[in-house]
Amino acid sequence: MTKRVVVASGYFNPLHYGHVSYLEKARDLGTSLIVIVNNDFQAAKHRPGGMKLPARERVKLVRSLQCVDAAVEAIDDDESVAETLRLLHPDIFANGGGTKPTELEIKVCAQLGIQMVDGLGIQLLSLTPYTQHYDWGKPRNASIIAALTGQQSPEHDPQDDSKPFAELWMGDHPSGPARVESPSNEKAMKKICRAASLQEVMHRSPSMLGQLSESKQLPFLLKVLSIHKALSIQAHPDKQRAAKLHAEKPDIYKDANHKPEIAIALSDDFQALCGFRAVTEILEMLQHVPELATLMGGAVQQLEAAAGDEEKESEARLLRKDG
């Protein structure tokens, strides 16, 4: 196995989980990891109020991490670690989060043929939710969705005020992924603002999903609903049937996931109907309300055929009239 030495750097004061995640991912790039800890002179310039721990203590803390093979104090007197990097001459120089190498560090890496890797570890991302304007949503200035997204304003013209704000989505659903607005610093923020959706960011950096990295998608979708009138529902009883319905009717069933849901009422006057009537009850109702049976068309016969069979009843309750 070819040995590849990775160098990471930072102040690490205080040392937190984001640093650990960054160093673990840096270690995965090679066979050994050396960490450069910025010295006290640099710390004084970086943070005039001073650091909580002197460099020697920070070196000890970093060195104690399982993923770290060695930790050294920087010999540089500017804000870079260029001279320490030159002395160590690693194969890879890794930076975490939104941190980018300085011009001096880039110059040294180019001179010595050191590969640079950026964006490792955890970075906080600010998301702009996707807003759905379904017909059943409350008008702009009455909707909590418009209020939460900063789109509620008395300055809008009356016609615009009537626009419905139905749902706020915070996730990576293909029909409305949230957009990544900012990581941890301004330079990186400008870059990621152009980078687009949360879905695209997770496809580029699946490691941010941890154990779910292979799927490259979130296993849930957080929604906030602002309901003005009765709304339609789409139900998938289980994962297997959800995949089948998506394959057969992708225009109706937009994804292959089932829909187990947890609902939390955000207002005191929220009312909802939960669950489905039994097929036998639906058939009895259709006998007393023939107009409803006419509207359902051929679905009535399918309900009758399904009565008594639990699996067929489950499918029949999801039927929709064609045409």
Q: Where are the domains of the chain?
A: 5-120, 126-232, 235-275, 279-316
Q: Which two tokens stand for residue 124?
A: 């906080």
Kindly compute the dihedral angle of the four CA atoms of residues 139, 145, 150, 156, in this order, to the nearest 10 degrees: -10
pLDDT at 207: 65
Tell me how far apart the alpha carbons of residues 127 and 143 are, in angstroms, rounded to a whole number: 20
Question: The tokens 């023939």 sit on which residue?
Answer: 290
- Token code pair at residue 5: 């030495």
Q: Give the Cα separation of 13 and 73 in Å (integer).
A: 14
CA distance 245 to 59: 56
Contact 137, 167 (CB under 8 A): yes
Per-run averaged pLDDT (10 residues), the chain, 323 residues: 90 87 92 95 77 86 96 95 97 86 95 91 76 92 88 68 90 87 46 61 73 79 89 71 87 79 79 71 87 83 82 62 36
CATH hierarchy code of domain 126-232: 2.60.120.10
Residue 121: per-residue pLDDT? 73
The pTM for the full model equals 0.50
User: For position 158, what pLDDT does the model report?
Assistant: 65
Residue whose structure tokens are 């990471």: 8
pLDDT score at 167: 94
Distances (CA, A) of 54 to 14, 48, 62: 11, 14, 13
Count CB-CB contacts under 10 A for residue 267.
Answer: 8
Pick one of 3.40.50.720, 3.90.45.10, 3.40.50.620, 3.40.50.300 as the CATH number of 5-120: 3.40.50.620
Q: What type of residue is 118?
A: D
> What gap in Å lies between CA 213 and CA 202, rounded to an integer?
9
Query: What single-letter DSSP state applies at residue 8?
Result: E
Token code pair at residue 99:
């941190």
Cβ contacts of 51 within 8 Å, gap of 6 or more: 11, 13, 40, 43, 44, 58
Containing H/E element for 147?
helix 144-148
Residue indicated by tokens 């009843």: 313
Q: In what order do the strands lie in the sheet with 130-132?
A: 130-132, 167-170, 222-225
Contact 125, 69 (CB under 8 A): no
CB 221, CB 171: distance < 8 Å: yes
- Please give the Cα distance from 318 to 276 (Å, whole number): 10
